[in-house]
């Protein structure tokens, strides 16, 4: 059945600012269209929306506002620039308000896929551990780094081991499903680090605590880049589910090429 969106005023398309997209870069793709919202496949290295100081990076919101000629599009949640996958966009103020209440009531379930170093000794586990800023010290030069702290904000993440493999160059890897039950900064990445399962490509919580600082300074070495494996954190918003108009909406977004190709290069582990 074709869903016809309600009419909404919009300025002429030529009045919209063009969003610069690097040649050959993947573009946002609509996975699900509903009269009230879109579910979009956000490519890695795109912002959800422009923030101060980052207008050099393409933004999903501004790109689709121009491409679809829908000025009222708005993101009820945000994916980090390096994170790929399922991004919701409301299409009018009424749907934006409804999403606000759904997220506030924790009725939107987001499930992620991540590639991590190592093989966990569990099939499923839940980490219920508060997260907060760990503070700059001799061991940490990253101001925004989160960690499990006694005075942190409550944070709970459900993890499931989907499969373990052995990469011929990069060693043991695991495909992990993560479902955050709270919405803390860097929650999945910080919790995985606490479980001693650093995420592939993660410059803040990965195997090299200096990688993020060197990356920002432009002094990251070839060896550090090799250890990261990917140019971005291997975190993908895979599935989203929520109630809407008396039904349950659920959709999945497949792994992007960089994560899928790395995983395909690895061999199935006997333990997996």
* pLDDT one-digit tens code per residue, 135-181: 877 778 888 999 999 999 999 999 999 999 999 999 999 999 999 99
Nearest to 77 by CA among 187, 201, 192, 232: 187
27 or 19, which is more confident? Answer: 27
Contact 47, 219 (CB under 8 A): no
pLDDT exceeds 90 at position 61: yes
Lowest mean pLDDT among 22-31, 81-90, 183-192, 223-232: 22-31
**Quick one: pLDDT at residue 11?**
44
Break the chain into its structural domains and give their ranges: 24-105, 106-241+253-272
The sign of the CA dihedral 14, 20, 22, 28 is: negative
Question: What confidence tier does 265 reach under pLDDT thresholds 50, 70, 90?
Answer: very high
| CA gap 27, 40 in Å, rounded | 10
**What are the residue ranges of helices labelled H in 50-164?**
60-68, 93-104
Q: How far is CA 170 from CA 109, 207, 260, in A?
A: 32, 12, 15
**Quick one: pLDDT at residue 5?**
36
Report the percentage of the chain scoring pLDDT > 90. Answer: 78
pLDDT exceeds 50 at position 8: no
Nearest to 257 by CA among 61, 45, 77: 45
104 or 55, which is more confident? Answer: 104
> Which CATH number is 106-241+253-272 given?
3.30.2350.10
Please give the average per-residue pLDDT across 221-234, as a whole number.
Answer: 95
Contact 208, 225 (CB under 8 A): no
> Which CATH number is 24-105 given?
3.30.2350.10
Contact 48, 61 (CB under 8 A): yes
**Quick one: pLDDT at residue 185?**
94
pLDDT exceeds 80 at position 119: yes
Rg (CA), the chain: 19
pLDDT exceeds 70 at position 79: yes
Lowest mean pLDDT among 17-26, 94-103, 252-261: 17-26
């Amino acid at each position: 059945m074709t869903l016809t969106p309600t009419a909404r005023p919009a300025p002429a398309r030529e009045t919209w600012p063009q969003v610069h997209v690097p040649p050959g870069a993947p573009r946002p793709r609509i996975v699900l269209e509903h009269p009230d919202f879109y579910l979009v496949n956000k490519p890695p290295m795109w912002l959800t929306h422009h923030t101060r100081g980052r207008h050099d990076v393409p933004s999903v919101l501004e790109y689709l506002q121009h491409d679809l000629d829908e000025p009222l599009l708005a993101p009820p949640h945000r994916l980090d620039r390096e994170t790929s996958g399922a991004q919701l966009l409301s299409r009018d103020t009424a749907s934006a308000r409804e999403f606000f209440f759904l997220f506030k009531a924790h009725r939107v379930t987001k499930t992620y896929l991540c590639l991590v170093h190592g093989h966990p000794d569990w099939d499923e586990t839940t980490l219920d551990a508060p997260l907060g800023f760990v503070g700059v010290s001799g061991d940490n030069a990253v101001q925004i780094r989160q960690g499990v702290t006694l005075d942190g904000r409550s944070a709970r993440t459900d993890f499931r081991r989907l499969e373990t493999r052995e990469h011929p160059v990069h060693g043991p890897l695991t495909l992990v499903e993560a479902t955050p039950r709270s919405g803390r900064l860097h929650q999945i990445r910080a919790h995985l680090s606490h479980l001693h399962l650093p995420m592939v490509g993660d410059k803040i919580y990965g195997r090299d605590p200096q990688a993020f600082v060197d990356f920002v300074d432009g002094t990251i070495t070839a060896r550090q880049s090799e250890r990261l494996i990917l140019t971005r954190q291997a975190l993908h918003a895979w599935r989203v589910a929520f109630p809407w108009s008396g039904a349950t909406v659920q959709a999945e977004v497949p792994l992007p090429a960089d994560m899928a190709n790395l995983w395909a290069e690895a061999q199935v582990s006997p333990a997996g």
